Amino acid sequence: MQVSGNTKISHILRENKDAIDTIASINKHFKKLKNPVLRKVLAPRVTVKDAAKIGNVSVNEFLKKLESIGFEAIYDDETKTESAPKSDNPKLDQTRIVVLDVRPIINSGGDPFSKIMDTIKTLKDDETLKIINIFEPTPLIGILEGKGYKIWTEEIDVDEYHTFFTKEARSSHQEIVAEMPLAEGSFEDKLASFGGNLKEIDVRHLEMPEPMVTILSELESLPDKHVLLVNHKKMPQFLLPELKNRNYKVMSKDIEEGFLQLIIYND
């Protein structure tokens, strides 16, 4: 199996379960993958590039470890994963902080993503969300950065991280989405090019944020060279930046009022 910076940890573990030990040897943070509950939450959302950032190692160093146990590594152009420069974190009004501790959800075997997104929906413009977790929620950070949030994390202990999400006024959501154009071309021709390699789902009956959660979950299990056909009520604008980050392409077709179809695929 070929692996690159964009390969999901879940795909690696599905191919070779022994890769858990190899990954855990890279950095103490990755030992969490040996916990079945945490593996369920982390592995489907974290790429090699994300993991390298968490572990403070280069992408290529991570890939070299995987190559040593039989994977075919496609090395990154960059020789080292650089940490983003840290800016001064704002002083917060403690009365405007909404605290969400997701540790009990994870410890009970659940996935806190839906709870987090539900809380984000109710967050007022002058409020900051503080998530208490047992690891830095790198995939969530990518999603909410795309929604215009300023984000920073404080490591309290080896198993306690406080991550803050506060809205930034510098970018509107419309401006962010405008940077994520849909793929061009014929919807029908592209769909037909996949032949029978198609999975169709309908998320029109679901309430936010379940459509996005469902679509991302389906993409995790979508076989290579397949396309996901989604029946949706509207264009899922918050989903587009996340799909772009995962190197997916999207095409859309309006069927009628309140009904459009999307095809999501990887070339």
Quote the CA–CA distance of 217 and 232 in Å, as a whole number: 16
pLDDT for the residue numbered 189: 92
CB atoms within 10 A of CB 22: 17
Residue 181, C-beta contacts closer than 8 angstroms, at least 6 positions apart: none
pTM over 0.75: no
Q: What is the pLDDT of residues 18-70, one digit of tens each?
A: 888 888 888 776 776 777 766 766 677 788 888 887 777 888 989 998 999 99
Q: How far is CA 108 from the centre of its chain?
A: 22
Quote the CA–CA distance of 142 and 223 in Å, as a whole number: 24
Q: Which helix (H) or strand (E) holds 145?
A: helix 138-145
- Burial label for 64, CB within 10 Å (0-12, 13-18, 19+), is middle
Report percent pLDDT > 70 for the chain: 86
**What are the φ and ψ backbone dihedral angles of 259, each rounded to 5 degrees?**
-150, 115
pLDDT of residue 88 exceeding 80, the answer is no
Q: What is the pLDDT of residues 210-219, one digit of tens each?
A: 888 889 889 8
